Structures are given as structure tokens and as C-alpha cells.
Amino acid sequence: MNTSMTGRNIELTDAIKEHIAASVETLKKFNLDIISVNVIVSTQSKKGKDHSVVEYVINLAHKNTIVIKQSDEDLYVAIDLAASRAQKAMRRLHDKESDHHKVGLNEIKAEAVSVKEAVEEMEDEIIPVELDLYKPREVEDVLNDLKESGKMFEIFADNEQKTRVLYKRNDGKFGLY
């Protein structure tokens, strides 16, 4: 990372340079590819008062350039405010980059294993079913339906309004309860 400090209408002392260098070092913690940081310090007169203006120009690889301009009566306060705003902008880029990452193959495999385990846990679960006892049915009709379907038993109401169960036995015959 290249760092350059420029003073316009102001002489940059060693203390000011150290303060700027320390504020630029805090930008490294976001692990973005910083190509260069240019810090321009200048003074302006507004309404008879002198203001210090600090401008950060941060060039990032494969991203837009970040430009932060901050003015204050005190030079050190202007540097601190500009550095704070630069950190906030860098944090936003870092969070955007880390939150919207692509899902890796290992994460997909781990998710597939957890889905498979959930399916296996659900296989042994007993789910209650409502009976469809609408109208009385003949035993022969239920026997034909049971033969056509792959079911093991059928519950129905017969002509006398009794609840009956027709089931397949192990020997291949049918039983009626």
C-alpha cells in the first residue's frame, strides 16, 4: 500500500505526519486490497476564520475509489473525523463482500448431510390420519380396492354402520375384523 501526504498552504510537521500515518494504518484491518492512500491537507478561510481540510483518496483494487473530505477548525480533529469516516466506508465494503460470498462445496456437503439426517429422523415418526367414513361400503368393493392398491389394510363402515377392518394376511389371504 502506497501512502502519500500532501500539504497545501500548510507545512506538514513530523507530528502531523505520524498522526496521519497512524490513521491510515487503521484501514489495513479490513483486508481489502488497498493500492494507495493519498492524504491531502489544506487550509481555507471562510468568513475570516481558518479551517483545516483533510481529504482521503483511497484507491482499492477492483473497486471504486473512496474519497472522504472533512473540514474542522482543528487539524487533528479533522484528521480523526476523516479517518473515522474512511473506516466506516471500508467496513461497509468489507461487510458487503463477506456477507455475500459464494457457498463452497464443503458447506453444501455439510448441509446435505444435515438434511439427510433430518429425513432419517422423520421416517420413524407416526402421523395420525383422519378416517374417511362417509357412506357404508360393501365388503366386496373394499376387497377389490385393497387388491388394486398396495395397502395392507382398509378401514370402512359396513351396511350395519359397524366399523370394520379388511386386512392382508401373511399367507396371502384376507382377514375381516
Q: Which residue has the cell 474542522?
A: 72
Q: How many domains does the chain have?
A: 2
Mean of pLDDT values over 109-115: 75
Does residue 52 have a pLDDT over 90?
A: yes
Q: Is 87 buried (19+), middle (13-18) or exposed (0-12) by CB count in 10 A?
A: middle
For residue range 118-172, list pLDDT tens digits in order: 767 666 666 676 655 567 888 888 888 888 887 888 888 888 878 889 898 888 8
Q: Do 90 and 137 share a structural domain?
A: no
CATH of the domain at 169: 3.30.505.50
* Average pLDDT of the chain, as a whole number: 86
Could you tell me the three cell numbers for 137? 361400503
Task: Show the domain range for 137.
Answer: 129-177
Mean pLDDT lowest among 25-34, 54-63, 108-117, 141-150:
108-117
123 assigned to some structural domain: no
Q: Which residue has the cell 376387497?
A: 143
Picking from 40, 105, 31, the residue whose alpha carbon sits closest to that of residue 67 is 40
Residue 103: pLDDT band by 50, 70, 90 thresholds? low
121 assigned to some structural domain: no
Mean pLDDT lowest among 29-33, 35-39, 68-72, 102-106:
102-106
115 assigned to some structural domain: no
Q: Do 6 and 75 share a structural domain?
A: yes
Q: Do 94 and 7 share a structural domain?
A: yes
CATH of the domain at 53: 3.30.160.100
DSSP β-bridge partners for residue 125: none
Q: Do 91 and 7 share a structural domain?
A: yes
The number of C-alpha atoms within 13 Å of 175 and in the hemisphere containing its C-beta is 9
Mean of pLDDT values over 51-69: 93
The model's pTM is 0.56
Helix or strand run (H / E) with residue 37: strand 34-46
What is the distance between the alpha carbons of residues 41 and 37, in angstroms, rounded to a whole number?
13
